[in-house]
Amino acid sequence: MYAAPALLLLIFACGSGEPPRPPADPATAILVVNRSPGLPTTAEQWTLPDFTLYGDGTAVLPGETRGALLTGVRRTVTAERIAEWYRTAQRAGLFTGRTHDRAIADAGALTVRITDDAGTHETVVAGPEQDESGLRGEVIAFAETVMAGGTDAGEYRPQRYAVLVTGASDGQGPARPWPLTVPLAQINGAPSEPCQVLPPEEAEPLMPEFAGAGPDTRWESQGQRVSLMMRPLLPDEHTCADL
């Protein structure tokens, strides 16, 4: 359920003429829609955006969460449908970007990022609610249309996965053997934000173990115990810094 609506800082800007054209690069995210809760769980913090569309018409959405393993699914979107979305986005003023009041404690937010030749434009709605009207309602309606669009195209199989250290342990209770070939102290970003990128041939053998784990599962490396999560990287994500 969405939180109470926020006040909107009104910036009226309406596009006219031909809508901007999306980039055709298959590795460029041209349209991203994401709903973020005010107090996300660990899985919600690292899950894929609700809808990420690339220049070749491939969209990636979150799949099911299997224990400590996040997954993704694919959809395909036709060029005609993308053009229709861009026309709708222009009418809604999404190519100018709009600033919404975000000063609500623990409120969720809806973010829409759309890309054209001029760059990426971001609109944020703090505390969105169903059945809103006006400028906020246009953004919410657009996001809902996009998230429902496309044709199912099976499981998303990325070129890279990330193993993230999501928490430390007090050392109590049982722990699993360390699953990575690299010890915790040598993971990229250690000790503050440890995260290791793996190719599919290294990640896939570990997936059953991660699927059988959970947020409270502890893994031990050189006397240190931490919780882990595995997440597929999107086509435009190459390193942990892109997350």
Residue 85 has pLDDT above 60, yes or no: yes
Q: Are residues 35 and 150 in the same domain?
A: yes
Asked if residue 4 belongs to a domain, the reply is no
The CA–CA distances, whole Å, from 40 to 43, 46, 165, 229 equal: 8, 9, 16, 15
Mean of the pLDDT values across residues 173-183?
A: 94
How high does pLDDT run on average in the chain?
89
Identify the DSSP state of 4: P
- pLDDT (tens digit per residue) in 15-55: 446 879 999 999 999 999 999 988 888 878 899 999 999 99
If one counts the domains in the chain, the total is 2
Q: Are 126 and 101 in contact (CB under 8 A)?
A: yes
CA gap 93, 97 in Å, rounded? 7
Report the alpha-carbon distance of residue 81 to residue 117 in Å, rounded: 19
Indicate whether 1 pLDDT > 70: no
CA distance 141 to 105: 24
pLDDT for the residue 7: 29
pLDDT in tens, 111-163: 999 999 999 999 999 988 888 888 889 999 999 999 999 999 999 999 999 99
Residues 144 and 207 placed together within one structural domain of the fold: no
User: Residue 204 carries which side chain, given as an amino acid letter?
Assistant: E
pLDDT score recorded for residue 173: 79
Q: pLDDT-derived band of residue 103, with 50, 70 and 90 as boundaries?
A: low
| Residue 210, domain extent | 161-242
Place 98 in a pLDDT band, splitting at 50, 70 and 90: confident
CA dist 56 → 27, 60, 70, 82, 237 (Å): 8, 12, 24, 10, 16
Residue 220: pLDDT band (50, 70, 90) is: very high
Do 64 and 147 have their domain in common? yes
Please give the pLDDT value at position 129. Answer: 84
Q: What is the pLDDT of residues 47-76, one digit of tens each?
A: 999 999 999 999 999 999 999 999 999 999
135 and 34, same domain (yes or no): yes
User: How big is the chain by its Cα radius of gyration, in Å?
Assistant: 20
The answer as to whether 151 is a domain residue is yes
Evaluate whether residue 80 is within a structural domain.
yes
Among 101, 125, 155, the domain-final residue is: 155
